[in-house]
Structure 1
């Protein structure tokens, strides 16, 4: 079956502001995010791509734009099911203040039981994203052959949930996965099982340098960053 290249969108203005964007309109790449997107065509230069699929949100469309400009014949498809988690009443709020919400402990340690007020559950988020990947795998293989590779630009929690499914991990463990802005994750799907080929690859080891507790969660604080975070400074 197809090989899927998952790209998390580049760093956004919400990431740097420490805000949980969700589906809030008008969230764009910041200066660094635009530079990350500009570097994507070279990073994927040796990979033949059958198609590009994107979340409908602006930050994902902006991330793929340089790649599409570099490959004029590459078809772009919009897929609602890989859009960001619907965080409901949490959307647009500061991650620092959300850390004090009782629900955050559930999001961190028992995400399969977490449902955002006025939004969706994390189970529903994963289910729609995995369903979209399965559907696109079948479509790409049907149209381009079983060795085809395609790129999909989405969001941190969406990509983490797809990786968890590919690894046979329960959703309650998915917070152990981290993907940086504009990182590349590759999964090769076969008839009997998926293989994780790359995870959160940026080609930059700066993100491994301890940063201390920046107040928005992450490996140094012991909590995962809901929404994915801003990445290395």
Structure 2
């Protein structure tokens, strides 16, 4: 059995501004986000991960750097742990999207984006590979809210239509067993 510790990145400057981030690569952590990342890193140190992998998006990498400083554990990055892509909607105020996004259709995607079904399939593939060849008994994955929700559904044996509705808080750690 492999324990997976899903660390959600700290608050980003776009989280604070209420902007849709998706896979926009350059978005950094806010000052609060750095505080949240340091707190998550301190908690992670106590959980003793034997390996750490992060999304390659800047906000996750910055969070992983805090985790590395606290645990002494180096990390690798992968695009497999990125947030759901929202294509042309990225950078727009999130509140404007409630009338644009079809939240009921798991196959809906914005132009240039990714559907929940595609996100779910990407995360399922990554977790399957991780389970087949775990780098350690306890693995920390520094990632994003929708990616964590997809991982929760995958591990529970559910499809994308049954992803949890609640997104974990910035700087939180969600524990799953593979």
- Greater Cα offset, 120-129 or 150-159: 120-129
Q: What is the CA RMSD across the aligned residues, in angstroms?
A: 1.5
Aligned pairs for 1:40-51 (under 5 A) are 40-51=40-51
Match of 1:10 in 2: 10
Separation in 1, partners of 2:167, 2:119: 17
Alignment TM-score, normalising by the size of structure 1: 0.72
Taking CA–CA contacts closer than 8 Å with sequence separation of 6 or more, which of the two structures ends up with the larger relative contact order? Answer: 2
SS at match of 1:97: helix
| Residues 1:169 and 2:163 are matched in the alignment | no
Query: Which ranges in structure 1 are unaligned for 5 or more consecutive residues?
Result: 190-233
Tell me which structure has the larger Cα radius of gyration. 1
Separation in 1, partners of 2:112, 2:167: 26
Match of 1:149 in 2: 138
Match of 1:27 in 2: 27
1:24, distance to aligned residue in structure 2 (A)? 1.8
Match of 1:129 in 2: 123
Per-residue CA deviations over 1:80-117 (Å, capped at 9, x if unaligned) read 1111112111111111111221xx2x22x23x221221
Separation in 2, partners of 1:176, 1:70: 31
| Residues 1:113 and 2:125 are matched in the alignment | no
Query: Which ranges in structure 2 are unaligned for 5 or more consecutive residues?
Result: none
Match of 1:100 in 2: 99
Separation in 2, partners of 1:118, 1:175: 24
Q: Of 184, 187, 197, which aligns to 2:173? A: 184
Match of 1:199 in 2: none
In the alignment, is the contact (CA less than 8 A) between 2:88 and 2:112 conserved in 1? yes
| Residues 1:71 and 2:71 are matched in the alignment | yes
Match of 2:132 in 1: 138
1:48, distance to aligned residue in structure 2 (A)? 2.1
Match of 2:81 in 1: 82
1:175, distance to aligned residue in structure 2 (A)? 4.8
SS at match of 2:169: coil
Q: Give the length in aligned residue pairs.
A: 178
Separation in 2, partners of 1:80, 1:6: 15
1:179, distance to aligned residue in structure 2 (A)? 0.9
In the alignment, is the contact (CA less than 8 A) between 2:153 and 2:164 conserved in 1? no
Separation in 2, partners of 1:53, 1:69: 14
Per-residue CA deviations over 1:134-163 (Å, capped at 9, x if unaligned) read 2123222xx54xxx1010011111110110
Alignment TM-score, normalising by the size of structure 2: 0.92
